[in-house]
A and B are shown apart, each in its own frame.
Chain A
Amino acid sequence: MIIQGRAWVLGDNIDTDLIVPGQYLMASLEDQAKHVFEAIDPTFVKEVRQGDIIVAGKNFGCGSSREMAPQVLKHLGIGCILAEDFARIFFRNAIAVGLPALTVKNISGKVEHMDEVGISLDSGRVIVKSKALEFFAAPLPEKMREIIDAGGIDGILKNLAAR
């Protein structure tokens, strides 16, 4: 699977309240999507496009177990999240909703806003063409790759039910 898109560059410790503030948790996905990152970057929801990629620092997704966090990013069109590392529950939740999340060491600070990034989910190769940069993501555990390939846990459950 190849993923290509424009980069949105974020810092360390992007928490789940910045992604979906608690006061909107009961709103529809469409309404939650209006508030993503509003406390740190109000341009995000206006300018994000289908296929865009997030490139972040350490501890991306720390905080709550709210699955709306990766779900709403996927809803806004984010195709993949690359980060130095992820908070555990967010990482699992991203995969569970079928949003690829890859740990890429030393990527932070090297990619600029709107750089074109290409990612091969199979090899873990990440390239930033304009800068002639290449990184390698830590391979996803086999179990997580199965979930991504099934389109998330929903797909896994459907397969289970069909058996």
Chain B
Amino acid sequence: MGLTMAEKVFSSKAGRSVQAGEYVVLPVDRAMCHEGFLLSCAKLIASGIGKVWDPEKVVVIMDHYVPSPDVKMAEAHAKIRKLVKQCGLKHYFGEREGVCHQVMVEKGLALPGDLIVGTDSHTCTYGGLAAAATGIGTSEMAYVLATGDLWFQVPHSIRVMLNGRLPQRVYSKDVSLALAGRFGSEFAQYRSIEFSGDLVQDLSIDSRLVLSNMSVEFGAKFGMFPVDDVTISYLKSIGAEDIEVFSADDDAEYERTCTLDADGLEPMIALPHTVDNVKPVREVAGEKVDQVLLGSCTNGRLEDLREAAGILKDRQVAPSVRMYVYPASRQVLRQAMDEGIIQVLSSAGAVICPASCGPCFGSHGGLLASGEVCISSTNRNFKGRMGSPEAKVFLASPATVAASALFGKITDPREVG
């Protein structure tokens, strides 16, 4: 019997062949922490253990509260800096580099075949580079910091076959929303998703990361892409060495195959308040929006900002709308500056914000008042997610978000020249 990608990663770490359903305790290759590090490290110290198992393997990136919105958070950041020093961590990026998941990818800290845990549910993003990566809570992270190990159930796998070609102004975000709409918000509960099909070769790493990132919105533990020429050329461009080239065996066993044809796909949108409440954008076109959010670990990469700029070039964001741009990283921001994208967005009236999580998770940096409507390129639209529980959040692609900014109402990006 052949192995899935998840089974291959777990088998390689276990040093024996393991199969879906088994429980295993395995060493992780990396432990990624955002501000959650403070809670995990505090537990480590309170328990009397006090030091991390391997300072080379722990990564700390501050992004959720950047810049710190209040004194309480400033104090928390100060404690984190102190603890990072005390633990002698080698990979610390402070609040300078951007959203943790994008930074992990850009810095070559998430590589094919790696087993990675992170204190954030969107840690599964690294599956775009064939890493088996998943989110955990801060207590489990404390255990990882102490021992380097964690217990896992080897997941069953679901193959998501993506066929055809994406039409004009339809993107991987639309694919992920279409998957949520068609198969539901938990079709991959506790499963590993493997993306395959002939669309995959057309998808850039930026686009793949969107699908891997959104995998947790279907309940998935991992959202993995096989390693191909696109992966290898991206990894070489960031200086990665010893790239593990692997994919599932031809006779790997999948619990289920879900198929989606890209050819007839339209721009899609998730309506409040669940990610699987999905319709084609044209069916809700015309709904007035107050806030437009472009960015996040889902859709704040260069490709995303470029698409939005293509729509907003030499145009103006509707006066009734406030548009916030949160690039996924400092590197994305710099590249977008080099390409003139930031000039276009700013000239159009968008507010350019620091590379960080911003209001995506509802803490600060652009929260919504009751009765307000936001269209966002982020990943969740739960009630109360981005401020008032009486506000509404719609999720869509960067192009749909930009087109909607232009008219102050939800707009199908294909309607804009």
Chain A residues in the interface with B (C-beta under 8 A): 13, 15, 17-18, 21-23, 25-26, 38-40, 58-59, 62-67, 85, 87-89, 92-93, 96-97, 141-143, 152-154, 156-158, 160-162
Contact status A161-B23, CB under 8 Å: no
Segment with Cβ contacts to A, from B54-62, B140-148, B288-296, B338-346:
B140-148
Q: Using Cβ atoms and an 8 Å threshold, which residues of chain B touch A67?
A: 39, 137-139
Contact status A143-B140, CB under 8 Å: no
Segment with Cβ contacts to A, from B201-209, B228-236, B384-392:
B384-392
With CB as the reference atom, state the residue of chain A lying closest to B50: A161
**Most B C-beta atoms less than 10 A away, residue of A58, A67, A97, A141:** A67
B200 to chain A, nearest CB (A): 25
B106 within 8 A of A: no
Please report the C-alpha to C-alpha distance between residue A26 and residue B64 in the assembled complex, in whole angstroms.
Answer: 11
With CB as the reference atom, state the residue of chain B lying closest to A67: B137
Contact status A63-B142, CB under 8 Å: no
Q: Using Cβ atoms and an 8 Å threshold, which residues of chain B touch A66?
A: 137
Please report the C-alpha to C-alpha distance between residue A52 and residue B103 in the assembled complex, in whole angstroms.
Answer: 43
B window 371-417: CB within 8 A of A: 380, 382-387, 389
Write 10 A-B pairs (CB below 8 A) sorted by A numbering. A18-B383, A23-B387, A62-B186, A64-B361, A65-B119, A66-B137, A88-B189, A89-B136, A93-B137, A162-B48
11 extra interchain contacts, Cβ-Cβ under 8 A, other than A65-B136, A88-B221? A25-B361, A63-B380, A65-B119, A87-B189, A88-B189, A88-B190, A89-B136, A93-B137, A153-B139, A154-B43, A154-B139
Q: Using Cβ atoms and an 8 Å threshold, which residues of chain A touch B138?
A: 67
Please report the C-alpha to C-alpha distance between residue A154 and residue B141 in the assembled complex, in whole angstroms.
Answer: 11
Contact flags B151-189 to A (C-beta < 8 A → 1, else 0): 101000000000000000000000000000000011001
Contact status B185-A26, CB under 8 Å: no
Chain B residues in the interface with A (C-beta under 8 A): 23, 25, 36, 39, 43-44, 46-49, 65, 70, 72-73, 76, 119-121, 123, 134-140, 142-143, 146-147, 151, 153, 185-186, 189-190, 216, 219, 221, 274, 361-363, 367, 380, 382-387, 389
With CB as the reference atom, state the residue of chain A lying closest to B122: A65
A58 to chain B, nearest CB (A): 6
B27 to chain A, nearest CB (A): 16
Chain A-chain B contacts (Cβ-Cβ < 8 Å), number: 130
Contact status A85-B382, CB under 8 Å: no
Q: Using Cβ atoms and an 8 Å threshold, which residues of chain B touch A26?
A: 65, 70, 72-73, 76, 363
Please report the C-alpha to C-alpha distance between residue A7 and residue B218 in the assembled complex, in whole angstroms.
Answer: 28
Please report the C-alpha to C-alpha distance between residue A63 and residue B73 in the assembled complex, in whole angstroms.
Answer: 23
Please report the C-alpha to C-alpha distance between residue A133 and residue B358 in the assembled complex, in whole angstroms.
Answer: 48
A69 to chain B, nearest CB (A): 9
Please report the C-alpha to C-alpha distance between residue A63 and residue B151 in the assembled complex, in whole angstroms.
Answer: 21
B115 to chain A, nearest CB (A): 16
Q: Using Cβ atoms and an 8 Å threshold, which residues of chain A touch B385?
A: 17, 21-22
CB contact between B146 and one of A25, A59, A65, A157 (< 8 Å): that residue: A157
Q: Using Cβ atoms and an 8 Å threshold, which residues of chain A touch B362?
A: 17, 21-23
B134 to chain A, nearest CB (A): 8
Q: Using Cβ atoms and an 8 Å threshold, which residues of chain A touch B140?
A: 92-93, 96, 153
Please report the C-alpha to C-alpha distance between residue A65 and residue B101 in the assembled complex, in whole angstroms.
Answer: 14
With CB as the reference atom, state the residue of chain B lying closest to A66: B137
Q: Using Cβ atoms and an 8 Å threshold, which residues of chain A touch B367?
A: 23
Contact status B137-A21, CB under 8 Å: no
Q: Using Cβ atoms and an 8 Å threshold, which residues of chain B touch A87?
A: 186, 189, 219
Q: Using Cβ atoms and an 8 Å threshold, which residues of chain A touch B363?
A: 22-23, 25-26
Please report the C-alpha to C-alpha distance between residue A93 and residue B142 in the assembled complex, in whole angstroms.
Answer: 12
B189 to chain A, nearest CB (A): 6
Please report the C-alpha to C-alpha distance between residue A89 and residue B136 in the assembled complex, in whole angstroms.
Answer: 6
Please report the C-alpha to C-alpha distance between residue A25 and residue B120 in the assembled complex, in whole angstroms.
Answer: 14
With A21-B389, A59-B219, A89-B135 already in contact, the answer to whether A153 and B383 are too (CB < 8 A) is no
CB contact between A13 and one of B46, B143, B274 (< 8 Å): that residue: B274
Q: Using Cβ atoms and an 8 Å threshold, which residues of chain B touch A59?
A: 185-186, 189, 219
